[in-house]
Amino acid sequence: MIVCDGLVKIYKSADLEVVALQGLDLRVEPGELMAIVGNSGSGKSTLLNMLGGLDRPSAGKLTVAGKDLLSMSDRDLIRYKRETVGFVWQNNARNLIPYLTAQENVELPILLRGRRRKARALELLEAVGLQDRRRNRLSELSGGEQQRVAIAIALANEPQLLLADEPTGSLDTKTSDQVLDLFRKLNRELGLTIVIVTHDPHLARKVDRVVAIRDGRTSSEMLRRRSYAEELAELERKGAESAAAEEESHVEYAVIDKAGRLQIPASFLEAEGFKDRNKVRVEWEDGRIVLRPPDADET
């Protein structure tokens, strides 16, 4: 669904250049539900804006659903935004109108007319579990419900890819769990590919793959040992008391880029022997690559 190779984005202003993405590699399979994490300023929103066609990359390669977003004409980019992707932001105010009802808000972007439009809006509200609240004004809905209206709107034109930038950023844990459950349901039932940007580790633990961005590059990747569905099934079988430690559910991988560079987790570099060093010994040992502190006389 998504292929990013050496993706670069540079923001230029009069006297300043910010390299927001510096050679980012990422692949996302059709039907994946994955999360992107990283500190503030690491380039997460920049990446999502590129994926959504809201802004153009400066260099590198980016294709989504087989479409090349670097060489695409402006006209094709507009169509891409309308037909291929759906967007959900943290701040609902950006896509919603407070004095209209949930249903009216959902009807707005639908390109159909008359009864077909109403029917489609109802279908979307059902998909996000809001059919009973459809006549309420937006201002009468809770934060989580408003976010579900925003998700219904993002789905209005049947996108293949749903992009969500900090979708639970302003919600409490329980409500953000419900939003994530909805993403999972849409992923499973519609086969929708979903990319969620978050800095919430709690949310990130609940998807099958998490990619971490550091300084505009992918630095590490966590893969679920078992699918979330398997884990839920097991929990139901064994009861809640056996709930495995959440940290155990993912394996962490460091990403090796095309030049063979690899980012070592910062916590490892704090260890005795590695701290404040700028090199390590790299050795091949029985099919493993081993990193050791340099010998004393080498430093």
What's the CA gap between 121 and 106, in Å, rounded?
A: 6
List the single partner that 220 binds among Mg ion, ligand ADP, none, CB under 5 to 8 Å by kind: none
Binding test (CB under 5 A) with Mg ion, winner from 6, 20, 24, 45: 45
Yes or no: say if 255 and 220 are a contact pair by the CB < 8 Å rule.
Answer: yes
List the single partner that 198 binds among ligand ADP, Mg ion, none, CB under 5 to 8 Å by kind: none
What's the CA gap between 99 and 88, in Å, rounded?
A: 20
**Closer residue to Mg ion in complex, CB, 45/193:** 45
CB of 229 to ligand ADP, least distance (A): 30
Residues between 32 and 51 that touch ligand ADP (CB under 6 A): 38, 40-46
**Closer residue to ligand ADP in complex, CB, 11/268:** 11
Yes or no: say if 279 and 294 are a contact pair by the CB < 8 Å rule.
Answer: yes
**Closer residue to ligand ADP in complex, CB, 106/171:** 171
**Closer residue to Mg ion in complex, CB, 39/299:** 39
Q: Is 88 exposed, middle or buried (0-12, 13-18, 19+ CB in 10 A)?
A: buried
CB of 206 to Mg ion, least distance (A): 20
Q: Is 109 in the site for ligand ADP (CB under 6 A)?
A: no
Q: Is 248 helix (H, G, I), strand (E, B) or coil?
A: helix
Q: Is 18 in the site for ligand ADP (CB under 6 A)?
A: yes
**Total chain residues near Mg ion (CB under 5 A):** 1
Q: What are phi and psi of 37, to 5 degrees?
A: -120, 165
Short-list 6, 10, 19, CA closest to 63:
6
Q: Is 268 in the site for ligand ADP (CB under 6 A)?
A: no
* DSSP class per residue in 167-183: TTTTS-HHHHHHHHHHH
Q: 246: which DSSP letter?
A: G
Yes or no: say if 115 and 76 are a contact pair by the CB < 8 Å rule.
Answer: no
Instruction: Tell the residue number behind the tokens 């050795």, with chain if given.
Output: 283
Yes or no: say if 255 and 25 are a contact pair by the CB < 8 Å rule.
Answer: yes
CB of 148 to Mg ion, least distance (A): 21
CB of 214 to ligand ADP, least distance (A): 10
CB of 6 to ligand ADP, least distance (A): 17
**Total chain residues near ligand ADP (CB under 6 A):** 11
Residues of this chain that interact with ligand ADP (CB under 6 A) are 11, 18, 20, 38, 40-46
Residues of this chain that interact with Mg ion (CB under 5 A) are 45
